[in-house]
């Protein structure tokens, strides 16, 4: 008898362990994500920063999405689509039975309402911001999307005024998450604090400057998220954030200092995840300021900086030297470009040729905040300063707070500056046109030749021809040397070892609904 009781007991214990074990692998728990800054707003079309997208990505879905870890497009709110012969009419079939968090149905009307709100400046709810990303991607307001038509309840049609090759890739971008029209109408200007989408998580609470708390959406159209709750905490200082990870008060963090990468690798409770590289960190020279209007000076600078040494020192080796403004992970990358090799003697010769053998003095703006492409702006700025002093030019280091820095560089006020870019959609257009076309460049680089190539590439649907055009564009840029392209980094993310199934996207943000916590 006793034996039987004991056996039963043992079986029960084993079973309960097994059952809870399985449960813990799948469902429940709270994930605390530590990051460098707070969200700016939760209306994705109104923001441009990664810290906002990180959160809106969980709350909203887009018509199409990127397959996790890549920039391949896959169905999301749209199940399938077709494009007309002339490339101007796109028809999307929408997923049926999807509901917004507020219970309203998702349908073609909602899609049309969202696009009309973004693109029409006289729309009553074209308020609350500048709809920046819409203007970027679709060339202004109303831009190239001429009409959005409701064909039937679950079919919507887009009519474009001109062909746009990366149209589908653009639609998959986080800013184009579909919001509940009723919620936007209800909250108006304050909608950015009351986001309502169709995503895997709903907003529970946003304590500005501190944390955003999300709760799982029980009626998600995909499988319900594994995690019950996600907390995004802002901890601006990299090392403070890392200490929190080590002490266990946060479960994962991005913006790991290169100094700490070794510590993550060697500690038992932590692991490292690498975001696929799709960015560029660069040092730009402004054509408006003498002597940077002289291509020989710009080439001299390109020869003066030892990128590999900078990578070994400040990226824990997690980067590769850049020779083009776009990373090799993007199609159309021109690998035939011969990089300006590190050669201070040649740099001096070029400077002498340009008439600056005695050097000159200028302001070098360094990044005030850690970014994935340039994790330690101040240190890398000092390294560049020291390399330039070797060829006889004097750089004075200058910086501003982050928003002022961005604003001033955008207005072409910086003689030379460090900056970078993380790709949004995996298309070369998203690097070359956005950063270096004469309509967009921050350093007064205004090449007609480049502009023509880039615009033609936008309107070409034939992939082979587009590759050719972008190859050519990179040659023009290399020849003009408007930047010193520094690195393409592979940003590290540190996680507790029980955080499972986290797949970082090259675009810089990702959905977390497939992440779960092991006991």
Partner 1 sequence: MSDSKKNKVMKKNTNPWFEAWRRLLQSKIGIAGLGIIIFLILVAVLAPVLAPYNPFEQNILARYKAPSSEHLLGTDEMGRDILSRIIYGSRISLQVGLVSVSLALVFGVGFGLLAGYYGGKIDMVIMRFMDIMLAFPSILLAIGIVAILGPQLKNAMLAIGIINVPRFARIVRSSVLSIKESEYISAAKALGAGDLRIVFKHLLPNAMAPLIVQTTLSIATAILEAAALSFLGLGAQPPSPEWGAMLSDARSSLQRAPWVATFPGLAIIFGVLGFNLLGDGLRDALDPKMKNV
Token pair belonging to 39: 């969200």
Give the pairing of strands 73-75 and 64-66: antiparallel
How many whole angstroms separate alpha carbon 458 and alpha carbon 428? 10
For residue 34, list its beta bridge partners. 233, 253
Please, which residue, 343 or 353, has the CB nearer to partner 1? 343
Please, which residue, 318 or 473, has the CB nearer to partner 1? 318
Please, which residue, 190 or 239, has the CB nearer to partner 1? 239
User: How many Cα atoms within 13 Å fall on the side-chain side of residue 306?
Assistant: 16
Token pair belonging to 439: 């309509």
CB of 317 to partner 1, least distance (A): 12
Please, which residue, 399 or 447, has the CB nearer to partner 1? 399
Please, which residue, 150 or 369, has the CB nearer to partner 1? 369
What phi, psi does 493 have (nearest 5°)? Answer: -125, 135
How many whole angstroms separate alpha carbon 315 and alpha carbon 348? 28
CB of 312 to partner 1, least distance (A): 6
How many whole angstroms separate alpha carbon 339 and alpha carbon 54? 35
Q: C-alpha angle 422/427/429, rounded to 5°?
A: 90
Please, which residue, 187 or 379, has the CB nearer to partner 1? 379
Q: What secondary structure does DSSP assign to 4-37, as a single string?
A: HHHHHHHHHHHHHHHHHHHHHHHS--EEEEEESS
Q: Which of 263, 204, 208 is nearest to 234 (CA)?
A: 208
CB of 399 to partner 1, least distance (A): 8
CB of 400 to partner 1, least distance (A): 9
Maximum Cα–Cα distance for the chain, whole Å?
102
CB of 40 to partner 1, least distance (A): 22
Please, which residue, 195 or 381, has the CB nearer to partner 1? 381
CB of 404 to partner 1, least distance (A): 11
- Residue 153 DSSP one-character state: T
CB of 385 to partner 1, least distance (A): 7
Beta strands in 95-170 (DSSP E): 145-152, 155-160
Q: Which of 402, 405, 424 is nearest to 284 (CA)?
A: 405
What residues line the site for partner 1 (CB under 8 A)?
Answer: 237-239, 242-243, 257, 259-260, 262-263, 309-310, 312-314, 366, 368, 376, 378-379, 381-383, 385-386, 396-399
How many beta carbons lie within 10 A of that of residue 66, not counting itself? Answer: 23
CB-based contact 278:506 (threshold 8 Å) = yes
Please, which residue, 310 or 477, has the CB nearer to partner 1? 310
CB of 328 to partner 1, least distance (A): 25
CB of 125 to partner 1, least distance (A): 38
Please, which residue, 235 or 326, has the CB nearer to partner 1? 235
How many whole angstroms separate alpha carbon 388 and alpha carbon 363? 12
CB of 342 to partner 1, least distance (A): 13
Please, which residue, 398 or 444, has the CB nearer to partner 1? 398
What does each C-alpha distance from 114 to 161, 368, 486 come to in angstroms? 19, 36, 39
Q: Which of 118, 111, 128 is nearest to 40 (CA)?
A: 128
């Amino acid at each position: 008898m006793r034996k039987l009781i004991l056996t039963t007991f043992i079986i029960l214990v084993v079973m309960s362990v097994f059952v809870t074990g399985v449960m813990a692998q799948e469902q429940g728990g709270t994930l605390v994500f530590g990051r460098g800054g707070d969200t700016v707003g939760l209306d994705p079309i109104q923001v441009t920063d990664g810290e906002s997208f990180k959160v809106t990505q969980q709350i909203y879905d887009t018509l199409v999405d990127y397959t996790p870890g890549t920039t391949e497009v896959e169905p999301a709110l749209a199940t399938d689509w077709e494009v007309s012969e002339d490339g101007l009419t796109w028809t999307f079939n929408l997923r049926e039975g999807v509901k917004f968090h507020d219970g309203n149905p998702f349908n073609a009307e909602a899609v049309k309402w969202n696009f009309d709100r973004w693109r029409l400046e006289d729309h009553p709810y074209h308020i609350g911001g500048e709809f920046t990303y819409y203007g970027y991607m679709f060339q202004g307001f109303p831009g190239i999307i001429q009409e959005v038509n409701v064909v039937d309840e679950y079919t919507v049609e887009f009519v474009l005024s001109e062909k746009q090759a990366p149209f589908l890739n653009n639609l998959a971008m986080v800013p184009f998450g579909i919001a509940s029209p009723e919620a936007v109408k209800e909250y108006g200007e304050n909608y950015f604090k009351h986001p309502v989408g169709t995503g895997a998580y709903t907003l529970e609470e946003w304590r500005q400057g501190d944390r955003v708390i999300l709760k799982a959406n029980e009626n998600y159209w995909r499988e319900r998220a594994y995690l019950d709750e996600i907390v995004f905490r802002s901890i601006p200082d990299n090392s403070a954030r890392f200490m929190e990870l080590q002490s266990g008060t946060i479960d994962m963090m991005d913006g790991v200092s290169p100094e700490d990468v070794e510590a993550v690798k060697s500690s038992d409770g932590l692991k490292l995840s690498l975001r696929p590289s799709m960015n560029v960190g660069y040092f730009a020279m402004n054509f408006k300021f003498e002597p940077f209007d002289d291509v020989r000076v710009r080439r001299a600078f390109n020869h003066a900086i030892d990128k590999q040494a900078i990578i070994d020192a400040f990226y824990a080796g997690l980067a590769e030297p850049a020779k083009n403004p776009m990373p090799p992970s993007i199609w159309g990358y021109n690998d035939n470009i011969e990089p300006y090799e590190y050669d201070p003697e040649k740099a001096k010769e070029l400077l002498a040729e340009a008439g600056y053998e005695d050097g000159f003095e200028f302001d070098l703006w360094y990044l005030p905040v850690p970014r994935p492409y340039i994790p330690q702006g101040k240190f890398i700025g000092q390294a560049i300063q020291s390399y330039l002093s070797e060829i006889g030019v004097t750089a004075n280091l200058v910086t501003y707070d982050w928003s002022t820095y961005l604003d001033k560089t955008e207005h072409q006020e910086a003689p030379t500056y460090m900056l970078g870019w993380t790709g949004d959609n995996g298309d070369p257009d998203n690097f070359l046109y956005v950063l270096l076309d004469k309509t967009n460049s921050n350093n007064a680089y205004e090449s007609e030749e480049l502009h023509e190539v880039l615009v033609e590439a936008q309107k070409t649907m034939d992939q082979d021809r587009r590759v050719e055009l972008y190859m050519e564009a990179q040659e023009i840029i290399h020849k003009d040397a408007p930047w010193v392209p520094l690195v393409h980094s592979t940003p590290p993310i540190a996680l507790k070892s029980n955080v499972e199934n986290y797949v970082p996207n090259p675009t810089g943000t990702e959905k977390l609904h497939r992440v779960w916590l092991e006991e």
